[in-house]
Amino acid sequence: MELLSGLAGNPERRVPSIHIAGSKGKGSVTGMIASILQADGRRPARYMSPHVSDFRERISLGNSFFDEAVYCAAGEELRELAESAVPAAKSDLFDPAREDGEEPTFFELLTLLFFLCARHAACDALVVETGMGGRLDSTNVLDPLVSVITLIELEHTGFLGNTITAVAGEKAGIIKPGKPLVLARQGGEGWSANEARPPDGGVLEVFKKAAAEKHSPLIYFPETAEARILKIHTGGTDFSLRFKKGAFPAGLAGGAAPLELFISVPGAIQAENAGLAITALKTAFPHTGEKAIRRGLADFHIPARFETLSRDPPVIIDGAHTPESAALCVETFCSLYGGGGVLLFGCAADKNAAGMAEVLLPRFSRIFITTPGGFKTSDPGRVYEAFTAVLAAQGGPTGVTLVRETAEAVRQALDWGRQRGLPVLGAGSFYLASEIRAFYGKG
């Protein structure tokens, strides 16, 4: 990636950046930061993955897409680099006696395309989410003003390691020497009694050690600010954010009256994500005003993060695909619409289907298991077995049905909810969320 960026003139170094990694909430935090910067009069380029319905969701200008001319110009520049400069550079850099190195990966080329789009559009800030991990991620060529790491979970174990601390170590790879790290609460610390409590397993110590080794100021959100829920409703979340006195970096207000804020996504976790985004922004761009924060959070929108597709009956989609994120999602869903609804579920083969079944199954009266689209390898039969095994152990009235064909499963689940006036939740995969959105003409 350093070679590719160098051949393009290092477009990632042209403007200031904020770099975001983590297992849960990083897409929301990335989107919120970009939305607030846009509300503050800037031109932020936003990089996220995966997309839900439109590939341009990955590479955008704040809350909107770039002009078509920008994508075309950047794509043409990328094509020329890939066809001429990259092969020439490889022949100069690699020993002819060995294999001539590896071809650039899809994600490396996509990351470079993002940097080129930002340059062609004269963006003045980059807000960049990692694809996977951090240390070896293509986005880690950045030298950001601040790094942000959200909650860590055990994920992508085939690439990041099979322990929570190993995963944390890979995420910590985005911390840059001397640059601040804004860190979300980890594990059970600071979590209330009615929330999911993912295990810490030493994660916080991993980040403290990594920050100390790189002489990077560590801004740990629970010690810096407090997000207090005022009301969660179908239109979003009202909350207050207060920075603790003496806990925030020098020159930034702490101990003052709390900010009373609204974000257009329901859920307690989204209030915390917003607090993390604001903390990162106030660290990187201290003069970001309260008006921009309010407007940016209100304008923030992102597909498949507790997104409402219908209100009669309620149909909600969410990309939750880990036991912890599924628990938070279903808690919000049931608090708004009650239990006993309909669940349409599908997840990729590498996800913890049994763990999600344990937290989801008791809250629904009917569950449809299906294929979460065709982009990733999946085994809906194995997921069905996981849910039925949990059902056999837990008991209860829940009915579980396997419908392998995705479009048919969507139709059956929505018909079941409509006929009985029951709310419907689609979860387990962003790719399944995409299929449900398409059913509603939002492709």
pLDDT digits (tens, 9 = 90+) for 328-355: 999 999 999 999 999 999 999 988 999 9
- Token pair in block for residue 79: 């094509």
Residue 193's pLDDT is what?
35
Q: How far apart are CA 283 and CA 325, in angstroms?
A: 27
Q: How confident is the model at residue 233 (pLDDT cuts 50, 70, 90)?
A: very high
Tell me: do 328 and 353 sit in the same domain: yes
Domain that holds residue 266: 2-299
* pLDDT over 90 (residue 376): no
- Token pair in block for residue 16: 């200031």
Tell me: do 58 and 205 sit in the same domain: yes
**b (16+ CB within 10 A) / e for 185-218:** bbbeeeeeeeebebebbebbebbeebbeeeebeb
Tell me: do 325 and 192 sit in the same domain: no
* Least confident window among 156-160, 272-276, 290-294, 377-381: 156-160
* Total domain count, the chain: 2
Residue 398's pLDDT is what?
78
Tell me: do 316 and 269 sit in the same domain: no
pTM for this predicted structure: 0.91
pLDDT tens digits, residue range 126-151? 999 999 989 999 999 999 999 999 99
Tell me: do 274 and 402 sit in the same domain: no
Residue 66's pLDDT is what?
98
Residue 441's pLDDT is what?
86
Residue 253's pLDDT is what?
53
Tell me: do 100 and 199 sit in the same domain: yes
Residue 443's pLDDT is what?
66
Tell me: do 349 and 394 sit in the same domain: yes
Q: How far apart are CA 266 and CA 235, in angstroms?
A: 7
Picking from 299, 328, 349, the residue at the C-terminal end of a domain is 299
Q: How far apart are CA 104 and CA 112, in angstroms?
A: 10
Tell me: do 281 and 374 sit in the same domain: no
Residue 192's pLDDT is what?
38
The CA-atom distances, in angstroms, between 262 and each of 13, 234, 249, 274 are 33, 12, 25, 10
**Which is more confident, 375 or 132?**
132
Task: Specify whether the CB–CB gap between 343 and 91 falls below 8 A.
Answer: no
Sign of the alpha-carbon torsion through 361, 53, 170, 222 = negative
Tell me: do 191 and 232 sit in the same domain: yes
* pLDDT over 60 (residue 380): yes
Residues with Cβ within 8 Å of 417's Cβ and at least 6 positions away in sequence, in order, are: 313, 315, 341, 342, 423, 424
Q: How many CB atoms lie within 10 A of CB 255?
A: 11
Q: How far apart are CA 163 and CA 95, in angstroms?
A: 37
pLDDT tens digits, residue range 387-436? 999 998 887 767 999 999 999 999 999 999 999 999 999 999 999 999 99
Q: How far apart are CA 80 and CA 94, in angstroms?
A: 21
Q: What is the CATH number of the domain that holds 347?
A: 3.90.190.20
Question: Which residue stretches of 186-237 are H helix?
Answer: 203-213, 221-224
**Which is more confident, 163 or 76?**
76
- The order of strands in the sheet holding 125-129 is 59-61, 44-47, 125-129, 17-21, 146-149, 181-183, 218-220
Tell me: do 222 and 364 sit in the same domain: no
Residue 91's pLDDT is what?
63
Question: Which residue stretches of 288-347 are H helix?
Answer: 290-299, 323-337
Residue 251's pLDDT is what?
44
Q: What is the CATH number of the domain that holds 124?
A: 3.40.1190.10
Residue percentage of the chain with pLDDT more than 90:
76
Question: Residue 343's closest CA among 377, 309, 318, 380?
Answer: 318
- Residue recorded with tokens 């152990």: 393
Strand partners, 45: 61, 126
The CA-atom distances, in angstroms, between 150 and each of 207, 240, 265 are 11, 20, 18
Picking from 299, 321, 347, the residue at the C-terminal end of a domain is 299
Residues with Cβ within 8 Å of 50's Cβ and at least 6 positions away in sequence, in order, are: 58, 375, 430, 431
Residue 287's pLDDT is what?
92
Picking from 243, 267, 299, the residue at the C-terminal end of a domain is 299
With vertex at residue 41, the alpha carbon angle to CA 58 and CA 221, rounded to the nearest 5 degrees, is 70
Q: What is the mean pLDDT of the chain?
A: 90
Tell me: do 23 and 63 sit in the same domain: yes
Residue percentage of the chain with pLDDT more than 70:
91
Residue 255's pLDDT is what?
55
pLDDT tens digits, residue range 102-124? 788 999 999 999 999 999 999 99
Tell me: do 152 and 58 sit in the same domain: yes
**Which is more confident, 68 or 157?**
68
- Token pair in block for residue 139: 């986005």
Radius of gyration of the chain (CA): 22
Task: Specify whether the CB–CB gap between 14 and 280 falls below 8 A.
Answer: no
pLDDT tens digits, residue range 320-332? 998 888 999 999 9
pLDDT tens digits, residue range 174-229? 999 999 999 999 874 443 334 444 455 589 999 999 999 999 999 999 999 999 99
The contacts found for 281-284 with CB under 8 angstroms, 24 or more apart, are 281/18, 281/33, 281/36, 281/37, 282/248, 282/252, 283/145, 283/146, 283/180, 283/182, 283/219, 283/249, 283/252, 284/16, 284/18, 284/144, 284/145, 284/146
Element (H, E) at 218: strand 218-220
